[in-house]
Amino acid sequence: MNTTVFNMAVCIAVVGKENSPKYISCLHPEQELQFQLKVHTSLDVVEEKLSSVGKTSGDVRELYLGLLYSTEEHKIFGYVTNTKIKFIIVVESSNTLLRDNEVRMMFRKLHSLYTDVVCNPFYIPCDHVISTNFDTTVKNIMTGNA
C-alpha cells in the first residue's frame, strides 16, 4: 500500500556549547522554521538528560542520548559530545524501518564530520558551519546515501 521511499532523516541540526544554533539542514527547505522550533524545544530534554547523568554518576555516560521525544509525525533523537556540542536528528514517525543502530550510525558519522570541520584551521570554533563538504555529506546522510 505504501510505495514512498523512506528517507533516513528529515532534519539534522548542530547546536553549540551555549545552545546557539550552528547548523541546520532539512530535506524540505520550506519546513525549516517548523524544524527549528522542534530542535530548540528538544534542547530542554537534552539538558534534563545531561543533568540526571551527573546525579546518578556512572549510569549512562554514552554520548548518544537516544530518543528525546516523539510527536505524531516526528521522532527526535539527540547526541551530545564531550565538548557540549549537540547533534539533533529528526526522523518521520511513519518510518518504522529505522532501527536504533542506524540512528547511532548517523550520529557517529555526523560527529566525525564535525570534528573534521573543527580541525580546519580557518574555522573559528563559535561560528556557523558553512563548509560545503559538510553540507553535502549531511544531505547524503539524510537520504541514506552516505
Partner 1 sequence: MADEVLFELLHSELVSYVLKNSEKDKKHGDLSTLEYVGFSAGYRIIERLTKEWPRFKDELDTMKFICTDFWSSINKKQIDNLRTNHQGVYVLQDNAFRFLTRLSAGRQYLEMAPKYVAFTCGLIRGALSNLGINSMVTAEVQSMPACKFHIQVQRI
The residues binding partner 1 (CB under 8 A) are 17, 53-54, 57-58, 61-63, 80-84, 111-112, 114-115, 118-119, 121, 125
Least Å distance between CB 80 and partner 1?
8
Considering beta carbons, is residue 28 or 108 the nearer one to partner 1? 108
Sign of CA dihedral 34, 67, 137, 4: negative
Least Å distance between CB 132 and partner 1?
20
Alpha-carbon distance of 71 to 29, in angstroms, equals 20
Tell the residue number behind the cell numbers 528529515, with chain if given: 10
Considering beta carbons, is residue 59 or 100 the nearer one to partner 1? 59
Burial class (CB in 10 A: 0-12, 13-18, 19+), 15: buried
Least Å distance between CB 26 and partner 1?
25
